[in-house]
Amino acid sequence: MQFFIKYSQIIYIIILLFIYNVKGEGGRILKNIFNPLQRLHFYAALFITPLLITLTISGIGYLFFQEVENNIYKTEFFGDSSIKTHQTLNEAVDEVEDKFDGFYISKVSMMDEPYNNRITLDDMAGNQRYVFLDQNNQIVADQNAKHTYANVVRNIHSSLFTENTFINYLVELTACWTIFMILSGTYMLIKKKLISNKNKKLRFQKWHGILGVVIAIPVFVLVLTGLPWSGYMGAKIANVMDNSGELGQSELAINPPKSDVNEIPWATRENKQPASESHAAHHGGGEMPRTDIKNQISIDKVATEAKKNGIDKPYSIVYPSNESAAFTVSKGSNTGVTGLDVSPYDEQTLYLDQYNGKDLGKVKYEEYGIIGKWFTWGIPLHEGHLFGVANKVINLLVCIALLTAVGLGLTSWIKKMKDSNVKVPPRVKKPMSIPLAIVLIVLGILMPLFGFSLIVVFIIEALLYYKDRRNKQKK
């Protein structure tokens, strides 16, 4: 896919340069901005509206995932085990490993009251389970992570619950075209002077445009803050963050520290120790976390050391992936786990030696670069829990307004089809203006999937042009 995107950008620029250099009647280059924008706006509405509606509705569902899960998972989140004897957290970990054969423990989430602690289990097939522990560290319940409300709605929102990369690209493409629709819609609203237009036949189109302009900035913000999840741009943004020095993450976050292998007895020490894979695991390419490494400190010890280092609940403990890796203790603002999110200012990551519990380094929010801070603020803003209920209400109103604007646009188009034989905006026989071509080139470079899709649109336009030309010649 990246191969096609890379080379399509070159083709895309060539096509646009060809289009705005085509001569009009009389050999004159004629300005033409409105008509190409109108037709591209129509194409966008035609192709992305179904997915845009799906993303908006699923986004509304995800806004309130914490409130929903607090009510439907009362036993898991707040319940007690029938066993009243107390056991250590490490004993609980051993019990969970014995009970869930074939799974390995990847993370232990230390929750603040009244939430139960949560152990995250994974297997080699990609399945995941949550196990909940009460105040005595006894097992209360477990659940299939894939089927929880939050994860179902999140997967619908990101990939229509297919976990398919192609669908993820389509979601990103929808976001790109949404940005274009905002820009083109604003231009056409101003150009047609729809705000002051009293024509009743244009009332649906008028209010479609007005509502679109009103929500333009918040929708633009939602799209931008949603890009970290996207298939192509998300990976590019993560790569920039990891390789942009002070603009992204600190060196400690990019290259996590290693545990002191001297703590491993010679009898059990490998000749060649593997490099830390903690960062790679974060992006899905590392080794699985391990609880069976000899001389590894207990999870209780990790929790004690975390408290000594100023890490209070809620936080997560990620097991090291190999003998040289470290325990990772983190507080996050965008975990996607009910009861685990904190304020961006409170984000921090602590690395502890897995053999002696020594503090190997800490990364706080203040040390993030501008891109890292954008992630930290943008994702909870997108999810609707950055500034409490107000964030949810604002996001909800924006989503409802977007659905209304889409509905008004569709209504306007349907009425137009009934009133005339014109089904699509007619093509004006003028070449595209140079300023518009430049804008599209810039957008295509900034959003490669958008540029790639425009090539498809230009091919369709070319086929329609030659079809019309052939029909006229026959007449």
The pLDDT of 395-414, averaged and rounded, is 93
The pLDDT of 88-105, averaged and rounded, is 95
Q: Exposure of 453 by Cβ count < 10 A (0-12 exposed, 13-18 middle, 19+ buried)? A: buried
pLDDT digits (tens, 9 = 90+) for 295-304: 999 999 999 9
How much of the chain, in percent, has pLDDT values that exceed 90? 45
Sorted by where each begins, the domain ranges of the chain are 2-65+167-229+393-474, 74-147, 250-367
pLDDT category at 422 given cuts 50, 70, 90 is low
- Is residue 180 predicted with pLDDT exceeding 80? yes
- The more confidently predicted of residues 111 and 229 is 111
- Is residue 429 predicted with pLDDT exceeding 80? no
- Lookup result for tokens 């990101």: 158
Q: Which two tokens stand for residue 192?
A: 């047609």
Give the span between the Cα atoms of 29 and 122, in whole angstroms.
62
Average pLDDT, rounded, for the chain: 83
pLDDT category at 253 given cuts 50, 70, 90 is low
Looking at residue 247, its pLDDT comes to 65
- Is residue 267 predicted with pLDDT exceeding 70? no
Q: Which residues pair with 331 in a beta bridge?
A: 348
The pLDDT of 400-424, averaged and rounded, is 84
Least confident among 2-11, 60-69, 357-366, 428-437: 2-11
Q: In what side-by-side order are the strands of the sheet with 359-364?
A: 139-144, 128-133, 117-122, 104-110, 315-318, 327-331, 348-352, 359-364
The pLDDT of 130-137, averaged and rounded, is 97
- Is residue 426 predicted with pLDDT exceeding 80? no
Backbone angles phi, psi at 269, to 5 degrees: -85, 135
- On whether the CB atoms of residues 303 and 253 are closer than 8 A, the answer is no
Looking at residue 252, its pLDDT comes to 63
Q: Which residues in 356-442 belong to E strands, given as ranges?
A: 359-364
pLDDT digits (tens, 9 = 90+) for 367-376: 888 888 888 8
Nearest to 82 by CA among 11, 136, 5, 147: 136
Q: Which two tokens stand for residue 111?
A: 């929750």
Looking at residue 202, its pLDDT comes to 83
Looking at residue 24, its pLDDT comes to 42
| Buried b / exposed e along 33-69 (16+ C-beta atoms within 10 A) | bbbbbbbbbbbbbebbbebbeebbebbbbbbbbbebb
Q: Which two tokens stand for residue 243?
A: 């390789």
Looking at residue 227, its pLDDT comes to 80
Looking at residue 260, its pLDDT comes to 62
Within a 10 A sphere around the Cβ of 175, how many other Cβ atoms?
A: 25
- Is residue 143 predicted with pLDDT exceeding 70? yes
pLDDT category at 474 given cuts 50, 70, 90 is confident
Q: Does domain 74-147 have CATH number 3.30.505.20?
A: yes
- On whether the CB atoms of residues 412 and 208 are closer than 8 A, the answer is yes
Would you call 329 helix, strand, or coil by DSSP?
strand
**H helix runs in 33-191, sequence order:** 34-63, 65-72, 74-78, 89-99, 149-159, 165-191
pLDDT category at 239 given cuts 50, 70, 90 is confident
Identify the sign of the CA torsion 402, 405, 407, 410.
negative
Within a 10 A sphere around the Cβ of 15, how many other Cβ atoms?
A: 18
Q: Which two tokens stand for residue 44?
A: 């966008």
- Is residue 285 predicted with pLDDT exceeding 70? no
194 Cβ contact list (under 8 Å, min separation 6): 188, 202, 205, 206, 209, 210
The pLDDT of 197-226, averaged and rounded, is 89
361 Cβ contact list (under 8 Å, min separation 6): 252, 257, 350, 351
| Buried b / exposed e along 427-437 (16+ C-beta atoms within 10 A) | eeebbbbeebb
pTM (2 d.p.): 0.81
Q: Exposure of 238 by Cβ count < 10 A (0-12 exposed, 13-18 middle, 19+ buried)? A: middle
- The more confidently predicted of residues 393 and 229 is 393
pLDDT category at 355 given cuts 50, 70, 90 is very high
